Amino acid sequence: MEHIHGSHDGLLIFLSYLIAVVASYTALDLAGRVSMSEGKSRWLWLVFGAASMGLGIWSMHFVGMLAFSLPVPVPYELRPILLSMLVAMVASFIALSVVGRNQLTTRQLLVGGSLLAIGISAMHYIGMSAMLINISYDPFFFALSILIAFVASFVALWLSFYFRKGGERGEVWKKLGSGLIMGAAIVGMHMTGMMAANFHLQDMSISSSGMVLNQTFLAYFISGGTLFTLGLSLFGIFISKRFFVKDSEIKHKTNEIYLMNQELRQLNDHLEDLVAERTAQLEKAHDEAIQANRIKSQFLANMSHELRTPLNAIIGYSEMLAEEAEEIGQPTFVEDLGRINKSGKHLLALINDILDISKIESGKMEMYIEPCRLEDLLEDITTTIQPLILSNGNQLEISGDLTKGTILTDVTKLRQVLINLLSN
């Protein structure tokens, strides 16, 4: 069995590495977008993310395979190629499901990383089986490629979970650095797997279903299409994040407004209760004041009535006694009885004042308007107030021509007002 050796196209290897870096960066962004989604939207992002990420990983491996050329034409079978692409997408779906959780435990990291590593390894070697040529594998490099796949998968899952939240300073550069590392690990796994492969010329058979591909053209075509697709995916993720951030801000503001409205409603309800309570207290106090004033007015009216009866009797009897004393020639008694009469009338006037106050408070004050000569009114007031003025060392003077002055007034109340003013 003749062993044949192949060679790699350096530019295509670089393209495969570039695809791996972009796919890794896209996976980091997709992990963040999946973690922010819920319900049906989450499943849609998982499917879209698995398709984009799986296409990127598969393209990297397939371009890497096309970068390898043998001295003889090698046909490819279509079914293993499509199967390897499907395996890559399923592995990507599992990976995004793991890192899209709220928490990533060690067990989840190990299980998810192992499934992703198995998927990547299966994708690579299923893709290699599409080459219709006799291939044997070196056990050491075969095992090493599997080990690299496991390490790369664990690191990829951890970095995806770490960067999924975003919002940190320098996030883009950190993701780019992580993408470079993850891309190198993926390419390293592929190259190690290619090193494990030994190609033999004997028993090589071209199946009727096999296709001899233009490797260079197909590699560039797949590279360009994949990079364009991943670029559109990144742009879509960017736009989606912007909408998500704006939507979150709107929801936050809406929630703040709702909470403020709730607080205002509670304060308003409380204020209404306080106002109602205070109004009830004021109404109660007002009713109590009216009731107390009514009782007071009634008391004053009763008291004035009770006091008027004996006072009127005293005033009447003093006038009668004064007339009798004057008839029998007792001037001393007349003077004393006059003082009694005057004091009684003064006390009666005070009682009338009290009664007038109660009438004012009850709204029943009445005015008795009649003609009055100012000269007579002022003479009466002067005679009444003169002793008080002299006792205080004051002097009362009236100026003006009042002989013909006549006014319409309540004489009793005007006399009372003027006496009160002069007394003060």
Q: Which domain holds residue 378?
A: 367-424
What pLDDT is recorded for position 207? 46
pLDDT digits (tens, 9 = 90+) for 349-379: 777 766 666 566 555 666 778 888 888 778 7
Which neighbouring-strand residues pair with 372? Answer: 407
Indicate if the pLDDT at residue 127 is higher than 80: yes
Specify the number of domains making up the chain.
Answer: 2
- Is 159 a domain residue? yes
What pLDDT is recorded for position 164?
57
Cα 325 to its chain centre, rounded Å, is 99
Q: Which of 162-171, 209-218, 245-254, 381-390 has the lowest mean pLDDT?
A: 162-171
Residue 2's pLDDT band, with cuts at 50, 70 and 90, is low
Burial label for 420, CB within 10 Å (0-12, 13-18, 19+), is: exposed
pLDDT of residue 206: 46
Is there a domain that residue 14 lies in?
Answer: yes
The token duo for 236 is: 């879509």
3-state secondary structure of 143: helix
DSSP E strands: which ranges in 210-254? 211-212
Q: Above 70 in pLDDT, residue 295?
A: yes
**Which of helix, strand or coil describes residue 68?**
strand
In a domain, 265, yes or no: no
Is 145:127 a contact under the CB 8 Å cutoff? no
Burial 360-381 (b: 16+ CB within 10 A, else e): eeeeeeeeeeeebebeebbeeb
Does 18 have pLDDT greater than 80? yes
pTM: 0.51
Whole-angstrom distance, CA of residue 90 vs CA of residue 58: 11
Q: Give pLDDT, residue 144.
A: 92
Nearest Cα residue to 183 out of 396, 383, 25, 357? 25
Task: Classify residue 328 by its DSSP letter.
Answer: T
Q: Phi, psi (5° rounding) for residue 106?
A: -60, -40
What gap in Å lies between CA 233 and CA 228, rounded to an integer?
A: 9
Beta strands in 156-279 (DSSP E): 197-200, 211-212
In sequence order, the 6+-apart residues with CB closer than 8 A to the CB of 321 are 333, 337
Which of 213, 237, 270 is a domain's end point? 213
- C-alpha closest to that of 35 among 175, 118, 157, 178: 157
Q: Please report, rounded to a whole number, the percentage of residues in the chain having pLDDT higher than 90.
A: 1
Domain stop point among 146, 180, 213: 213
Q: Is pLDDT at 317 greater than 70 in this prediction? A: yes
Q: Provide CB contacts within 8 A for 338, sequence distance 6+.
A: 318, 322
**358, part of any domain:** no
Q: Specify the pLDDT at position 208.
A: 46
Q: What single-letter DSSP state applies at residue 400?
A: S
Q: Let me know if residue 227 belongs to a domain.
A: no
d(CA 200, CA 421): 139
Least confident of 21-25, 139-143, 259-263: 21-25
pLDDT digits (tens, 9 = 90+) for 74-100: 788 888 888 988 988 888 888 777 766
Q: Are 347 and 381 in contact (CB under 8 A)?
A: no
Task: Give the pLDDT score at 334.
Answer: 77
Strands (E) across 259-389 are located at 370-373
Judge whether 276 lies within some domain. Answer: no
The pLDDT of 26-31, averaged and rounded, is: 70
With respect to residue 79, please indicate whether it lies within any of the assigned structural domains: yes
Interval 146-172 mean pLDDT: 71
pLDDT value of position 261:
83
Q: What integer best gives the mean pLDDT of the chain? A: 77
Considering 185, 213, 241, which residue would you say is the last residue of a domain?
213
- CA nearest neighbour of 73 among 131, 17, 21: 131
In a domain, 319, yes or no: no
